[in-house]
Amino acid sequence: MDHKWQYDAARPLLAESANLLVWLDLPFVRVTLPRLVGRTIRRRSSREELWNGNIEAPLWTVLTDRDPIVRWAIRSRRNYHPAVPGLIPEYPHLTVVRLRSQQEAESWLAGAVSACARD
């Protein structure tokens, strides 16, 4: 699944057709926010194209724009958190794997890759 998961109307459609949902529920302040800030600075510094010719706005816009990605992430970080547990009773066929640390994610992925290699 991809970023469309954040849209309420798309969530049931995606959940209905999926059989696995990997929920990266990493610590926001210690992991997610520093990664987001670092990625934003790197992309802005290199003027890396994001999509359709878009590039990161100047860094000072974090203080002036209404919705730069860093402020949006801080403000909306809890908006989608209840969405996953709410799907579990509605979609019993959907296996939900909740990963709460980088170590859990790496271990789970290593196991998934090994399982695919055996198939």
Confidence (pTM): 0.75
Domain limits for position 88 = 3-118
pLDDT at position 5 is 62
pLDDT band at 38 (very low <50, low <70, confident <90, very high): very high
Q: What is the model's pLDDT at position 114?
A: 77
- CA 105 from chain centre, in angstroms, equals 13
Question: Which band of pLDDT confidence, cut at 50, 70 and 90, is reported for residue 4?
Answer: low
Domains in the chain, number: 1
Dihedral (CA of 96, 12, 113, 23) sign: negative
Tell me what pLDDT residue 1 has: 38
The answer, yes or no, to whether residue 97 has pLDDT greater than 50, is yes
What is the token pair recorded at 100? Answer: 């709460």
Encoded tokens for 44? 């802005």
